Amino acid sequence: MSLETLLVRLLLLHETATGYTNLPVSGVLDHAQRYVGWIFELGKLRVLDPDSAQGLPSRGRIAGGYGAYFFGPPYPMYLLLEIPNIDDPTELRLAALFCDYLLSALYAAGHREELERQARYDWLTGLGNRRALERRLADSLPTGWGLAFLDLDNLKIVNDSQGHLAGDRLLQYFADSLRQSGFEAYRLGGDEFAVLLTKQQLEKLYRAIAGFQVSYGLAWAEEGDGMVLVTLADERMYEQKRRKKALH
């Protein structure tokens, strides 16, 4: 290989690396797969399930190419860079450098996606959080859809009498009931939850919350957009809570 050819390939490798910036994990892989054939003659990048890569080295030369294990986030995978002439020392060094850049880009993209995921989900229940709901309601709900604002009436009593671990379990059980019923549910904080649903799903919601002490309010798409629905449903939930207290 001439020095000029090597310099061109190194420039292509650098261009590939700079193109990874701010891409998601899927975009990083697509970008690498587009460029690999320009850098390596007959080169091909394959992404394998870890189970399919058992027995392969975590990083290094393998028969017909170069392999590297990516541990995530968001999920583990095995990167197989197929290069027919991997026995050539120059090709081996270029393959190692290609994988260095690719792994660094995947780690950056994966951790960025994980931080974004954590910013949208409630850590205790795994449901979407208030921020996720706000993003969801940025697009108007279709006619016939609405929002239920739910409040666990006895969470404070459980926390005070049985401890916060028991309160956390109550929140998790409630979230599981909503999730297992197939609802798009969110935890807004404390003892407050929101569910997006149609009018035809009301009976299913009542069944999902039947085993819990819950106050709720409903608001429908025809009554407003976005967080206006949350405010309306919240007000109606508190009105129901006041009526309950008046009966005791």
Helix (H, G, I), strand (E, B) or coil at 60: strand
Does the annotation count 87 as an active-site position? no
Instruction: Burial-class residue 43 by CB neighbours within 10 Å (0-12, 13-18, 19+).
Output: buried
Tell me the H-state helices in the chain.
Answer: 3-18, 25-39, 89-120, 130-136, 155-162, 164-180, 202-209, 227-247
User: Active-site residue among 122, 191, 225, 234?
Assistant: 191
Yes or no: say if 148 and 194 are a contact pair by the CB < 8 Å rule: yes
- For tokens 């880009």, name the residue: 105
The residues annotated as belonging to the active site are: 191
